[in-house]
């Protein structure tokens, strides 16, 4: 996530501190390893445990805005708490970098951090620009809702955290049949055409059902629905014009933060339509 | 050619079967044996409609021990890892994790790795990230960098020498 999709990071850094969350940049982090799980899952376990150990050395819990990273870290914690042999192997690997893994750090994703730690009342208190009844399609990202056996922050079949935030901001989110459909992103490395077909199909469904836009909380889903919306439309033969924003960008707008500070000039989808409905000058 | 066409004359590869069961056990996952072929996984599979992946058949072939047929097929690389199959399986079997095992086995056997996985692996081992920092463009087409957006430099492993040695050691190990 630190190498692209900067609108998410910009809006997170603007919004969370104003809601009382102190963000600490951690030196020495690496990739979580989830993208390499298909090549060798041992790499994923090693890299995730490594990042957890770095946080634990500073006595901090971990805010993981990317669902894929969140799954990788959650899974590493679960595997290493169940299997002593793997735990021992990983500990030896980490000792080469003077790191010690305990597996006690708690993990938070953006949406549960907002609903459960910051709280809906605190969000309401800071929101000055209401969504004026806008109906936004929510898209969570597969890895933040499944597999529930690993304790995912949102319900696997009926995730509702973002719906609660939208309602607090004076908007709403109607249910739609394609809500749990994948963005296609994981197919980008080896089936790029099929990947954008899935993107286009879901956006087409959202557009046809009359939503004012789509709100999400995953950088890879945004890469598909926002950055690749035009391509997705071409592949499925639709003129797509769906504003796609991060939940933190939308929350920032509702809190009266200037759009460029939230990275909204980086969104490729027509987000101006959405800002106009909120009465935000851009 | 589909996977099933290749399997009519095949014999079970017992060593691979044993190793896979051992891996599932290590990862606290249910044995493939628990699957009773209801097909619920395939009915919700995100890669089924467009790419013809059938998770219940993957599990059936796993139970039959027909591994080389699967690890030679591109089909195992079509899984989007959405985890719907695992979430909805009435027996708590995880086809998605069996597919990760099959892909790992395929790589271990020296089969071609599709897409840009090799580049991501190289990058992770040398800079700690699966890709280096990217430039982006705003809606007007102007190039923007982390720096120009006021974002701090991304994190990197501090002791790169020991990081690389450790991660390269892991890259040749199995779960």
Query: Would you state the pLDDT for residue B1?
Result: 42
**Cβ–Cβ gap B173/A42 under 8 Å:** yes
Q: Is A194 on the interface with B (CB under 8 A)?
A: yes
In the structure, what pLDDT confidence band is assigned to residue B79 with cuts at 50, 70 and 90?
very high
A104 CB-near residues (< 8 Å, 6+ apart) = A56
Nearest CA among A178, A177, A225, A169 for reference residue A200: A225
Q: How confident is the model at residue B6 (pLDDT cuts 50, 70, 90)?
A: low
Map residue B72 onto helix, strand or coil: coil
CB-nearest partner of B154 from A3, A86, A263: A3
A57 CB burial (10 A radius; 0-12, 13-18, 19+): middle
On whether any CB of chain B is under 8 Å from the CB of A92, the answer is no
Three-class SS state of A37: coil
Interface residue A28 vs chain B (CB under 8 A): yes
Instruction: State the 10-residue block means of pLDDT for chain A, 282 residues long.
Output: 94 98 95 95 98 96 97 98 97 96 97 98 97 98 97 96 98 98 92 95 98 98 98 97 98 98 98 96 85
Band of residue B2 on the pLDDT scale cut at 50, 70, 90: low
The torsion of the CA quartet A44, B19, B85, B9, rounded to 10 degrees, works out to 130
Using one digit for the tens of pLDDT, what is the confidence trace for B94-135? 999 999 999 999 999 999 888 889 999 999 999 999 999 999
CB A74 within 8 A of CB A112: no
**In order of start, what are the domains of chain A with their CATH numbers?**
31-108 (1.20.1050.140), 111-278 (3.40.50.11810)
pLDDT of residue A87: 98
Domains of chain B: 4-108 (1.10.1060.10), 122-171 (no CATH)
Q: What are phi and psi of A178, to 5 degrees?
A: -90, 10
CA distance, residue A144 to nearest chain B CA (Å): 10
Nearest to A147 among B83, B149, B169 (CB): B83
Minimal Cα–Cα distance from B85 to chain A, Å?
9
The per-residue pLDDT for range B43-78, each reduced to its tens digit, is 999 999 899 999 999 999 999 999 999 999 999 999
Q: Residue A237: left (phi > 0), alpha (psi -120 to 50), or beta?
A: left
Bigger pLDDT: B5 or A61? A61
Q: What is the pLDDT of residue A189?
A: 82
Would you call B28 and A2 a contact, using CB atoms and an 8 Å cutoff? no
Local confidence band at B4 (pLDDT 50, 70, 90 cut-offs): low
Query: Considering CB atoms only, which of B78, B103, B170 is closest to A46?
Result: B170
Binary contact (A25, B128; C-beta < 8 A): no
Query: What pLDDT band is residue B19 in, cutting at 50, 70 and 90?
Result: very high
Contact assessment for residue A80 and residue A73, using Cβ atoms and an 8 Å cutoff: no
Q: Which structure tokens are listed for B50?
A: 């467009």
Contacts across the A-B interface (CB distance below 8 Å)? 186
Q: Is the pLDDT of residue B141 over 50?
A: yes
Task: Assess A256–B contact: CB distance below 8 Å, yes or no.
Answer: no
Q: How far is CA A204 from CA A176, A269, A271, B35, B46, in A?
A: 12, 14, 17, 36, 17
* pLDDT (0 to 100) of residue B160: 94
**Does B87 contact A146 at a Cβ distance shorter than 8 Å?**
yes
Please indicate whether, in this complex, the C-beta atoms of A156 and B92 are within 8 angstroms of each other.
no
SS3 A172: strand
Question: Hey, are the CB atoms on B116 and A40 less than 8 Å from each other?
Answer: no
Rounded to the nearest angstrom, the minimum Cα separation between B90 and chain A is: 13
Q: Does this model's pTM top 0.90?
A: yes
Contact list, B84 vs chain A (CB under 8 Å): 142, 146, 180
CA separation for the pair A260, A54 (Å, rounded): 32
Cross-chain Cβ contact B167/A6 below 8 Å: no
Contact B98, B58 (CB under 8 A): yes
How confident is the model at residue B114, as a pLDDT?
Answer: 85
**pLDDT at position B8 over 90:** no
Identify the pLDDT of residue A103: 96
């Amino acid at each position: 996530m630190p190498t692209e999709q900067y609108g998410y990071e910009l809006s997170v850094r603007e919004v969370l501190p104003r809601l009382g969350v102190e963000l600490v940049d951690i030196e020495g982090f690496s990739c979580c390893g989830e993208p390499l799980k298909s090549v060798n899952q041992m790499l994923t376990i090693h890299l995730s445990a490594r990042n957890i150990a770095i946080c634990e050395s500073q006595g901090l819990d971990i805010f993981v805005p990317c669902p894929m990273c969140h799954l990788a870290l959650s899974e590493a914690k679960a595997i290493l708490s169940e299997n002593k042999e793997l735990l021992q192997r990983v500990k030896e690997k980490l000792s080469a970098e003077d790191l010690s893994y305990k597996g006690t750090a708690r993990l938070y994703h953006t949406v549960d951090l907002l609903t459960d730690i910051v709280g809906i009342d605190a969000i309401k208190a800071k929101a000055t620009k209401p969504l004026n009844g806008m109906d936004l399609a929510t898209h969570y990202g597969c890895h933040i809702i499944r597999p529930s056996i690993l304790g995912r922050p949102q319900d696997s079949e009926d995730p509702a955290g973002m719906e609660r935030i939208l309602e607090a901001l004076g908007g709403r989110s109607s249910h739609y049949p394609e809500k749990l459909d994948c963005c296609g992103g994981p197919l980008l490395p080896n089936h790029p055409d099929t990947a954008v077909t899935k993107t286009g199909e879901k956006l087409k469904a959202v557009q046809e059902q009359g939503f004012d836009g789509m709100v999400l909380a995953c950088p890879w889903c945004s890469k598909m629905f926002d950055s690749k919306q035009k391509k997705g439309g071409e592949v499925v033969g639709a003129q797509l014009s769906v504003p796609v924003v991060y939940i933190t960008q939308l929350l920032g707008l509702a809190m009266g933060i200037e759009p460029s500070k939230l990275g909204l000039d980086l969104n490729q989808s027509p987000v101006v339509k959405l800002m106009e409905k909120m009465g935000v000058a851009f | 050619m589909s996977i099933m066409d290749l399997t009519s004359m095949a014999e079970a590869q017992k060593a691979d079967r044993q190793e896979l069961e051992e891996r599932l056990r290590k990862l606290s996952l249910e044995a493939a044996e628990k699957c009773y072929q209801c097909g619920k996984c395939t009915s919700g599979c995100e890669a089924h409609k467009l790419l013809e992946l059938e998770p219940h058949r993957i599990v059936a072939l796993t139970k039959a021990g027909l591994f080389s047929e699967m690890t030679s097929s591109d089909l195992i690389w079509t899984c989007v890892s959405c985890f719907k199959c695992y979430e909805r399986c009435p027996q708590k079997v995880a086809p998605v994790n069996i597919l990760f095992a099959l892909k790992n086995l395929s790589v271990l056997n020296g089969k071609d790795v599709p897409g840009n996985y090799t580049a991501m692996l190289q990058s992770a081992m040398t800079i700690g990230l699966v890709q280096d920092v990217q430039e982006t463009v705003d809606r007007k087409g102007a190039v923007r960098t982390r720096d120009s957006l006021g974002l701090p430099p991304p994190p990197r492993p501090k002791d790169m020498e020991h990081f690389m040695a450790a991660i390269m050691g892991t890259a040749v190990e199995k779960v």
